[in-house]
Amino acid sequence: MNFMKRAFLGITRKKGKSLILLAVIFILGNLISGAIAIQQATGNVETTIKERLGTAATVDMDYKAWESMSEEELETLEMEELGVDLIKQIGELPYVKYYDYSMTTWMGSESIEPYQEELEEDVMYGDEDNIPFSLKGINYAPVIDFEEGKGELADGRVFTEEEIKNGTSVAIISQKLAEQNNLEVGDTFTLLSAVYDYSEETGEETVLDSRDIVLEVIGLFDPQSGKEETESKEEDSDMFLMEDIDYQNTVYVPNAIISAEEQYYWEVYAEDDPEIAEMLEEESMEYYTPIYYLNNPEDIEPFEEEVAPLLPELYTVISASDQYDDISGPMESMSTLSKYVLLVAVIATVLITGLVVLLFLRDRKRELGIYLSLGEKRGKVVGQILIEVIVVAFVGITLSLFTGNLLAGQVSDTMMKADDTQEESYEGVIYYEGIETNLTAEDVIDSYEVSLNSSYVLGFYGIGLLTILISTIIPLIYIVRLNPKKILM
């Protein structure tokens, strides 16, 4: 009789033993299935959230390391600045898609009014101080905010390389700011660059000096990200409205314009302060904030590793994906637990299934001895046992595929509900130039979903069947060592 036919007859004739083996594999398969489902779901959450956060990274002071330093260490610390040469060196790394570095400052104006939002009950929402306009310096002529979808050029053009290099007095402003002040592309407007002195005694500011900055409008932009966030998070609409208003009052200009004004501020202060005058002679007062956009989220970790040795002391790489690590507590706990469960389940399956199969074979050693004594090859006897185990295992694994997936969903829901009380501690907002996210633990949990997809099915069948094969190694050794003469004597 063909050994394959004998294998199927062995399954049907010994229904009790087959059912016992099926039950063992089904129970252990549920643990493996659930662990794989949770691991896959947590991995998908990390991928989804990090893609949503984007690939932006910057370099800034490591304030945690600063705060942990002793007074003696701070006294001997010699801080180095992040120079333009180093910013450019980092920008040349293969992980970087494009980058920019900028200076920022605030100015007022006597000729134009800042954009404000009118809310219910005639309440105006917006800047009411005397320096409502944020000037953002540009070195990357196409404007990196437009490339990344924070804003969109609605009219006019972006800067040219020559304008950036020469510090030409040109600007890109928001469409709403232009409409409020009847400005069009080609028009000029004037900002007031003022130097203030704050008196600690009176708590008042006085103007030491001021001068006008005349800029030509070469382009109008329309904010994009604020619209999407406000529509998707109505409960946080006030916060996003403030961010939108700040962005509406942002003026893009070449870095050289802001650099000249910063120099002007310090020169005014230096007139009455010899220490500042001496400092101006020894060092530059240009401080740039870099922003790097990488090719994909997977590049963030190797980018950080390669940049870290290049940075001055107390500087570090900061990326938007760092926030995921701060608020991913529920996901990390489930992922860690699922790894341990998977490891224990695989080991238990190997030991228990191997023991069950071995016990069954011991009861059948006379039958196996007869096969061998009749001249059946040991390979075919081994193949018969393998087929019997694999067929039963395949049925058990298939059943546990669905129940394990359901079990994983219920267990993870329970664990996440248990973390609800801690959710407040995970929430946070990152505010760095080019990196503004408002990701919360709730967003992470909402992205979690246990699903029955092809990668999960293939992964589970692969791990499950491989585990069953390994668990039959010991019983197969038992068959190979059988001596038919001793069995039948």
Could you report the per-residue pLDDT of 315-353, keeping only the tens digit for each? 999 887 777 766 666 667 777 777 888 888 888 888 888
* Residue 421 clears pLDDT 50, i.e. is over it: no
DSSP-assigned states of every residue in 179-200: HHTT--TT-EEEEEEEEEEE-T
pLDDT on residue 329 = 64
pLDDT on residue 284 = 74
Quick one: DSSP state of residue 294? E
pTM over 0.75: no
d(CA 98, CA 102): 14
> Coil, strand or helix: which one is 251?
strand
Amino acid identity for residue 44 in this structure = N
Average pLDDT of the segment spanning 20-30 = 86
The fraction of the chain above a pLDDT of 70, given in percent, is: 76
Average pLDDT of the segment spanning 177-201 = 91
Could you report the per-residue pLDDT of 219-228, keeping only the tens digit for each? 999 998 655 4
Residue closest to 98 by CA, chosen among 293, 301, 297: 293
Residue closest to 400 by CA, chosen among 441, 437, 349: 349
pLDDT on residue 240 = 60
Kindly indicate the confidence band of residue 427, based on its pLDDT and cuts at 50, 70 and 90.
Answer: very low
Q: Which residues of 132-170 are buried (b: 16+ CB within 10 A; e: fewer)?
A: bbbbbbbbbbebbbbebebbebeebebbeeebbeebbeb
Kindly indicate the confidence band of residue 134, based on its pLDDT and cuts at 50, 70 and 90.
Answer: very high
Could you report the per-residue pLDDT of 235-294, keeping only the tens digit for each? 455 556 677 888 899 999 999 999 999 999 988 888 888 888 888 877 777 889 999 999
d(CA 108, CA 133): 6
> Coil, strand or helix: which one is 220?
strand
pLDDT on residue 415 = 63
pLDDT on residue 417 = 60
Quick one: DSSP state of residue 312? P
Average pLDDT of the segment spanning 450-477 = 81
* pLDDT averaged over every residue in the chain: 80
pLDDT on residue 121 = 46
Residue closest to 41 by CA, chosen among 446, 417, 322: 446
The H or E element containing residue 161 is helix 161-166
> Coil, strand or helix: which one is 450?
coil
Average pLDDT of the segment spanning 189-211 = 86
pLDDT on residue 428 = 43
pLDDT on residue 478 = 66
> Which of 125-129, 423-427, 435-439, 465-469 is modeled with the greatest confidence?
465-469
* Residue 452 clears pLDDT 90, i.e. is over it: no
Could you report the per-residue pLDDT of 278-306, keeping only the tens digit for each? 888 777 778 899 999 999 888 998 999 99
Average pLDDT of the segment spanning 173-180 = 95
* Residue 95 clears pLDDT 80, i.e. is over it: yes
Which structure tokens are listed for 243?
A: 């961010």
Q: Strands (DSSP E) along 72-156, which ranges?
A: 96-102, 104-107, 116-118, 124-126, 133-138, 151-156
d(CA 224, CA 151): 5
